[in-house]
Amino acid sequence: MIATIKGIVEDKADDRLTVYVSGVGYEVFVTDNTAGELVLGKSTKLYIREQIREDTHDLFGFVSKEEKELFEKLLSVKNVGPRVALAVLNLGSHNKLRQVIAGGDAKFLQSAKGVGRRAAEQIIVELRDKVGLSSSAQAEAIATRSGGSESDEAVEALISLGYSVYDAKTALAKVDSKLSTEERIKRALKGH
C-alpha cells in the first residue's frame, strides 16, 4: 500500500493532479483544500489513501493526516464511496466537518454533491461519536429518530438479514421500543 507520495506537482485539473516522482507521474484525486495549497512545479508530500477495485486503482491525496483520517472515516459509512467522501471534504476544513458531524447538521452535509438527506443522516449516525468531539442533542435526535443505538440487538438482527444500518433503524423507529427484541424484529419485518 502507498502511504505517502513526495514529488513535484506537474499538472492540476478539477479534482486531480499529477505528482511526478522519480520518472513516474501519479494521478491523485484531491479535495479543493488540498488542490488550493499546492503549487505547480513545487515539491509536495501527500498522505495517500489507495483504493483498489476490480476495474480501478485510484489514489486519493491529502496535505494533512487529519484530512486523510476523516476521509477514511467517511468511507466506513455504509454507501459512502470515495467520490462522495471527497465531496463532503470539499465543504470545509476537517475541523469544521468534525463539528458539523458531531453537531448533527444534516442540512450542511446535504450541500455536498451526491449527498441526500438519508446519506447525511447516515454519516451523522455512524460518525457522531467517532470524530473526537461530543455529539450534540441534534445529532443524538437524528440517531434516536433513526431507531435507537447501534448496539440494539434488533438493529443487529435486521442488519444480519441484509438491511443497511439506516434501513434497520428506520424500520424499528415505527415499532414500540418497550416490546421484546423478538417482537420488535417481527413487527419491523412486517412493516408495522
Is there a contact between 5 and 18 (Cβ–Cβ < 8 Å)? no
Report which of residues 82 and 185 the model is more confident about: 82
CA contacts within 13 A on the Cβ side of 152 = 27
Q: Where are the alpha helices (DSSP H) in the chain?
A: 32-37, 65-75, 82-89, 94-103, 106-110, 117-127, 137-145, 153-160, 165-173, 181-190
CATH number (2.40.50.140, 1.10.4030.10, 1.10.3720.10, 3.40.50.920) of 4-62 reads 2.40.50.140
Does residue 104 carry a pLDDT above 90? Answer: no
User: Given this model, what pLDDT does residue 148 score?
Assistant: 43
Identify the pLDDT of residue 147: 45
- The model's pLDDT over 106-126, given as tens digits with 9 standing for 90+, comes to 899 999 998 988 888 889 888
Q: Name residue 111's amino acid.
A: S
CATH superfamily of 65-145: 5' to 3' exonuclease, C-terminal subdomain (1.10.150.20)
C-alpha cell belonging to residue 25? 507521474
The pLDDT, as a whole number, for residue 144 is: 53
Mean pLDDT computed over 19-41: 92
Confidence bin at 191 (pLDDT 50/70/90):
confident
Question: Is residue 11 pLDDT above 50, yes or no?
Answer: yes
Q: Is the dihedral of CA 72, 76, 82, 85 positive or negative?
A: negative
What pLDDT band is residue 181 in, cutting at 50, 70 and 90?
confident
Distance CA 89, CA 103 (A): 16
Instruction: Characterise 49 by phi-psi region: left (phi > 0), alpha (psi -120 to 50), beta (else).
Output: beta
Distance of CA 47 to the CA centre of its chain: 17
- Of 182, 160, 172, nearest to 125 by C-alpha is 172
Rg of the chain over all Cα atoms, to the nearest angstrom: 20
Which residue would you say has higher pLDDT here, 146 or 122?
122
Q: Using one digit for the tens of pLDDT, what is the confidence trace for 157-173?
A: 777 777 777 778 888 88
Q: Can you give the pTM of this predicted structure?
A: 0.68
Find the mean pLDDT for residues 48-59: 92
Question: Residue 58 class from Cβ within 10 Å (0-12 exposed, 13-18 middle, 19+ buried)?
Answer: middle
pLDDT tier, 62 (very low <50, low <70, confident <90, very high otherwise): very high
Mean pLDDT of the chain: 84
